[in-house]
Structure 1
Amino acid sequence: MTEYREILRLHSMGFSQRNIAYSCHASKTTVSRVLKKAKELGIVWPLDENQTNGVLAKLFSTPSGKPEDASPKPDFAYIRKELMRSGVTKKLLWVEYMEECKMNNQTPLMYSQFCHHIQKEEQKHRASMHISRKPGEQIEVDWAGDPAHIIDPDTGEITDVSIFVATMSYSQYAYAEGFLNEKQQAWITAHIHMYNYFGGVAKILVPDNLRTAVDHNKDWYTPKLNRSYHEMAEHYGAAILPARVRRPKDKPNAEGAVGHISTWIVGALRNEQFFSLTELNSAIMKKLNALNRKEFQKKEGSRLSLFRNEEMPFLLPLPTSPYELAVWKQATVQFNYHISVEGMLYSVPFEYIKKKVDVRITETIIEAFYNQNRIASHRRLYGRRGQYSTIPEHMPPDHQRYVEWDGNRFRKWAEKIGPHTLIVINSMLSYYKVEQQGYRSCMGLLQLSKKYGERRLEAACEKAMGFTGSPSLKIIKNILATSNDKPLPPDPPETKKNVYGMTRGAKYYGGNGNDK
């Protein structure tokens, strides 16, 4: 989908349509059409949160109803790439260009004009590209090639430390910091610290082609930016223009700064030992400040003086609120209308069951997005794995009947009836992945006490547990309906028998019971 919001944001910052096209990996024709349509509709940045890319796509898909005053230029980057493919000719690309113009209600160039523009663009492309630097416009960022080291004081183990390097393109004013890895969190944290060090924000960020910055960059014109990195840049009001693969001239200052950092910091500290990252970064900062104050050899001043006098006034102010690091992942909505994030489960509207959603994870918030629209937001859970955060509105209608109940309320009711009833209730609540799915069975079980009485329900639960460790509501209902919960009647009393067998009386022996 076209990044309508990003196009409007970058346009509001004064970027050219060419640079906007590079940053949003769209054609210049698309950028021009979006900006023209936005002007017609009176849509300007900043936008309301509800004006998502999906909403803007519907607004911008309506034709303007009048042709363009001038024929649109073809997308030269796309043409150059397509002409390298087998079987693709300028004639074919011109036909495609005409079809696109007709769809956008624009007047296309004639074939001869089309070829003329391509030829002129190729002549410019063959020349070495010179990128002029403006004060406060651009920051170049990268990881230094050579690592520093810290030593574990207990084991003596040596750990490599990656050095993040950033330079202001105009003044070469530098920033550096050590990190234990080059992962996303370290990369974003380095930028946050960098902006605080510079005291402002340059309009453009030029990173190298790292996975933490660019997901893929097969050519300069269609880079796909890492989502977390793009979100961070948007928070600070900056645009990301990745350097071309194997084109060091696109960011010569960062390349040069890497050498300076290696010499002035890593090399200068090679004979010193550091036993913690904090200790190493303290030494790096001292060397960094010395580097920025060092006088230039071929011109007056230093990096620091040039930055303060000529670049600082052009920097954008820092945001009022600090950036909260976010990580993006994909998740599939389970049948219980929850997604699993870091061992915890969070609900989304049940209509999205089995759909893939994008999940934004911060230290405090979990958000779920579908087609770039937010569908759920939860406070992040910590502690015991397997906890649930369920919003009642996300439940199917038959689950919402029990929204005023919770597991503890059922347990307290069962505890008043008896210990065996409590065991059965706990079994029912733990049977389901989502506790709420067991509420109906719990309610049905405890309501039996009103029909049969609490004593009989407790007895039925005790008897059911003799059959299975997880009695169902159906088993207990059957026990009560058939009165199998009642104790069996006692056996009839037995007549007392003589334990000595048959005993003959005195008359049997001819006596009358006297000694006579």
Structure 2
Amino acid sequence: MIQYRKILELYDEGISLRGISASTSNARQKVTEVIELAKKKGLVCPLDEEMDDKWIEEFLFPEKSLEASGRQPLNFEYIHKELAKPNVTLSLLHYEYEAESRANNKIPYSYRSFIRHYGNYAQKYKATLRIRRKPGEIMEVDWAGSTAFIIDRDTGEKVKAYIFVATLPCSQLSYTEATLSMDLHSWIGAHIRAYEYFGGSTQIVVSDNLKTGVTKHTSRELVLNPTYKEMASHYNTIVMPARVRSPKDKPSVEGSVGDISTWIIAALRNTHCFSIVELNEEVRKKLVEYNHRPFTRKEGCRFSAFEEEEKFALSPLPDKPYMISEWRTAKVRPDYHISVESMFYSVPYEYINRQVDVKISDDMVVIYFNHMWLTSHKRLYGRFGQISTVREHMPDNHKLFVDQTPEVAIEWAENIGSSTLSVVQYLLDSYQSEKQALQSIFSLKKMEHRYTKYEIELACKMVLTMTRRPTVKSIQTILKNNKKKDAEQELNQNTETTDTNYGFTRGASYYGGKINVE
């Protein structure tokens, strides 16, 4: 047998490859192969007593023990690497292995032996065993049953803090944080920070059937909370809640919850924190220790297993993290506004009395009707009863009323004529209250629906020749009189035209009557 141990020890002492080859009677090519493979697999001096030549050979060349059987050797590195790819299974790899064996006129291992040999290899030499989980495929999430606490500075009372746990089953790397509530905002926020901690997202999220995330889950129907569903879509993942009363559907996080309850929650039992920020700083320190604790039955730790075996398989994070939002429904009031936390936001008046969907984030309120976007508003904060109104949402008569400002009134008058401008300017200057003046001007503007601009300008010109104190009432009277005079003149003109063109009247003499001449 090759003296593997001696080769590694001589190399560690700084002996040249030529000297090692001469000392062990092995070719320099073989010495180089052993040294390079040992570096690749992390086998360095000093070596433990149990690491004899046979142990080292099995560690560096596990396939050699199978070659003596005369069967097609197994390439464990290839199998382990291929299993990390999506949709690749041991069944597929065994099928390909059988085809290769027949092509080489070798006897293949049975499927059961194939799995057993790979399992022994992965358990002994790899951080993860991919028979159970694929890297980057699943993230399991849950709330821990045990709680932590913070101390209220004013009262000295203990305030409960709930512990969120997320685990990657392949590497067993976990993330945890404390929150003061188990509401939707805390649930979604914890997911976002878990993705940031892992540096990527998984294909699937397996959660419990919490009301904050799952609206309905039966054998026939699954309804997710709209916010939870939107968050999953943002990170290009899907949510698959565990079956009701089936903790085995998420065994990794269930096991991590127990470990975290011991190594983080219980470990902080004598630590006094006065805010959730302070508590999370202590939780993060314990989390680092937990993820770097060595495995008991194999080399490495959760963090090293993640770095080597799973990090590469995570999907990249979006450019921007998900902005937490909440979905609600609201009915449009008769004043074409909806109420959100005692603040009022307008929608197009055509949707009065309709039910709309409202998406609420920290800085925006977005309104939809039958999945169709209607409008967006910047979210209002502060005193209750504030109103956000978009002019385009108003009916035309409301727009006219809202548009009543001195500037708009003068601009309108200039568009009518100089006499109208003089009347408007007088009204603005004569009233003590600007609001009263604008109401009078508004009444004058409404006349534009019945009279032309020429008629209004003429009436203003006439009233200015009659008095230095024009009123809207007097202008209205002049407009009516002018309209009446115009109608009478038009009637007279029509009568004269008829008598001239169609004057075939027969006198009394035509019918035998007498004509009185006086």
Residues 48-93 of structure 1 show CA distances to partners (whole Å, capped at 9, x for unaligned) of xxxxxxxxxxxxxxxxxxxxxxxxxxxxxxxxxxxxxxxxxxxxxx
- The alignment status of 1:270 with 2:269, answered yes or no, reads yes
Residue pair 1:349, 1:395 contacting (<8 A) in 2 also: yes
Corresponding residue for residue 498 of structure 2: none
- The alignment status of 1:212 with 2:212, answered yes or no, reads yes
Letter in structure 1 aligned against 2:340: V
| CA drift at 1:343 | 2.5
Letter in structure 2 aligned against 1:345: F
Corresponding residue for residue 382 of structure 1: 381
| CA drift at 1:132 | 4.3
Residue pair 2:431, 2:437 contacting (<8 A) in 1 also: no
Matches within 5 A, 1:453-472: none
Letter in structure 2 aligned against 1:229: Y
Corresponding residue for residue 321 of structure 1: 320
Matches within 5 A, 1:16-55: none
The verdict on how the C-alpha distance between 1:334 and 1:423 changes in structure 2, with shifts beyond 3 A counting, is: same
- The alignment status of 1:362 with 2:361, answered yes or no, reads yes
Task: Figure out how many residues of one structure are paired with residues of the other and give that number.
Answer: 327
Residues 431-483 of structure 1 show CA distances to partners (whole Å, capped at 9, x for unaligned) of xxxxxxx99669669x9x979899979xx9xxxxxxxxxxxxxxx969x99xx
The verdict on how the C-alpha distance between 1:257 and 1:455 changes in structure 2, with shifts beyond 3 A counting, is: farther
SS of 1:330 mapped into structure 2: strand
- The alignment status of 1:417 with 2:429, answered yes or no, reads yes
Corresponding residue for residue 161 of structure 1: 161
Letter in structure 2 aligned against 1:247: S
Corresponding residue for residue 342 of structure 1: 341
Corresponding residue for residue 191 of structure 1: 191
2: CA distance, partners of 1:181 / 1:332: 29
Consecutive unaligned residues of structure 1, counting only runs of 5 or more, are: 1-13, 17-130, 429-437, 461-475, 482-516
SS of 2:140 mapped into structure 1: strand
Corresponding residue for residue 254 of structure 1: 253
Consecutive unaligned residues of structure 2, counting only runs of 5 or more, are: 1-85, 89-130, 411-423, 448-455, 478-518
Residues 99-120 of structure 1 show CA distances to partners (whole Å, capped at 9, x for unaligned) of xxxxxxxxxxxxxxxxxxxxxx
2: CA distance, partners of 1:135 / 1:141: 16
| CA drift at 1:246 | 0.3
Matches within 5 A, 1:130-169: 132-169=132-169
Corresponding residue for residue 465 of structure 1: none
2: CA distance, partners of 1:407 / 1:210: 54
1: CA distance, partners of 2:255 / 2:443: 70
2: CA distance, partners of 1:15 / 1:443: 73
Matches within 5 A, 1:367-446: 367-400=366-399, 405=403, 416-417=428-429, 420-422=432-434, 424=436
Letter in structure 1 aligned against 2:262: T
Corresponding residue for residue 174 of structure 1: 174
| CA drift at 1:330 | 0.5
1: CA distance, partners of 2:442 / 2:214: 49
Residue pair 1:220, 1:245 contacting (<8 A) in 2 also: no
| Greater Cα radius of gyration, structure 1 or 2 | 2
| CA drift at 1:396 | 2.8
Letter in structure 2 aligned against 1:367: V
The verdict on how the C-alpha distance between 1:270 and 1:277 changes in structure 2, with shifts beyond 3 A counting, is: same
Residue pair 1:411, 1:425 contacting (<8 A) in 2 also: no
SS of 2:164 mapped into structure 1: strand
Greater CA drift, 229-238 or 380-389: 380-389
The verdict on how the C-alpha distance between 1:231 and 1:386 changes in structure 2, with shifts beyond 3 A counting, is: same
The verdict on how the C-alpha distance between 1:298 and 1:388 changes in structure 2, with shifts beyond 3 A counting, is: same
The verdict on how the C-alpha distance between 1:296 and 1:181 changes in structure 2, with shifts beyond 3 A counting, is: same
1: CA distance, partners of 2:392 / 2:243: 47
1: CA distance, partners of 2:235 / 2:202: 9
Residue pair 2:357, 2:367 contacting (<8 A) in 1 also: yes
- Structure 2-normalised TM-score? 0.56
1: CA distance, partners of 2:260 / 2:468: 81
Greater CA drift, 350-359 or 391-400: 391-400
Letter in structure 1 aligned against 2:273: F
| CA drift at 1:296 | 1.4
The verdict on how the C-alpha distance between 1:411 and 1:316 changes in structure 2, with shifts beyond 3 A counting, is: same
The verdict on how the C-alpha distance between 1:206 and 1:441 changes in structure 2, with shifts beyond 3 A counting, is: farther
Residue pair 2:363, 2:379 contacting (<8 A) in 1 also: yes
Corresponding residue for residue 302 of structure 1: 301
- The alignment status of 1:240 with 2:259, answered yes or no, reads no
2: CA distance, partners of 1:242 / 1:339: 34
- The alignment status of 1:228 with 2:240, answered yes or no, reads no
Residue pair 1:235, 1:319 contacting (<8 A) in 2 also: yes
Residue pair 1:410, 1:425 contacting (<8 A) in 2 also: no
Residue pair 1:220, 1:243 contacting (<8 A) in 2 also: no
Residue pair 2:338, 2:345 contacting (<8 A) in 1 also: yes
SS of 1:260 mapped into structure 2: helix
The verdict on how the C-alpha distance between 1:416 and 1:233 changes in structure 2, with shifts beyond 3 A counting, is: same
2: CA distance, partners of 1:305 / 1:148: 28
Letter in structure 1 aligned against 2:339: S
| CA drift at 1:346 | 2.0
Residue pair 1:206, 1:242 contacting (<8 A) in 2 also: yes
Residue pair 2:409, 2:441 contacting (<8 A) in 1 also: no
2: CA distance, partners of 1:439 / 1:371: 42
Residue pair 2:141, 2:253 contacting (<8 A) in 1 also: yes
The verdict on how the C-alpha distance between 1:420 and 1:174 changes in structure 2, with shifts beyond 3 A counting, is: same
1: CA distance, partners of 2:307 / 2:282: 23
SS of 1:255 mapped into structure 2: helix
The verdict on how the C-alpha distance between 1:382 and 1:425 changes in structure 2, with shifts beyond 3 A counting, is: farther
2: CA distance, partners of 1:329 / 1:425: 43
1: CA distance, partners of 2:244 / 2:434: 66
| CA drift at 1:402 | 6.1
2: CA distance, partners of 1:382 / 1:241: 36
SS of 1:147 mapped into structure 2: strand
The verdict on how the C-alpha distance between 1:193 and 1:398 changes in structure 2, with shifts beyond 3 A counting, is: same
2: CA distance, partners of 1:144 / 1:302: 22
2: CA distance, partners of 1:349 / 1:15: 49
Residue pair 2:137, 2:202 contacting (<8 A) in 1 also: yes
| CA drift at 1:421 | 3.0
SS of 2:145 mapped into structure 1: coil
| CA drift at 1:278 | 1.4
Residues 160-216 of structure 1 show CA distances to partners (whole Å, capped at 9, x for unaligned) of 001111101211110010111111111111111111111101111111111111012
- Structure 1-normalised TM-score? 0.56
The verdict on how the C-alpha distance between 1:394 and 1:302 changes in structure 2, with shifts beyond 3 A counting, is: same
CA RMSD of aligned residues (A): 3.8
Corresponding residue for residue 291 of structure 1: 290
Letter in structure 2 aligned against 1:278: V
SS of 1:177 mapped into structure 2: strand
1: CA distance, partners of 2:441 / 2:341: 26
Residue pair 1:329, 1:358 contacting (<8 A) in 2 also: yes
2: CA distance, partners of 1:313 / 1:324: 26
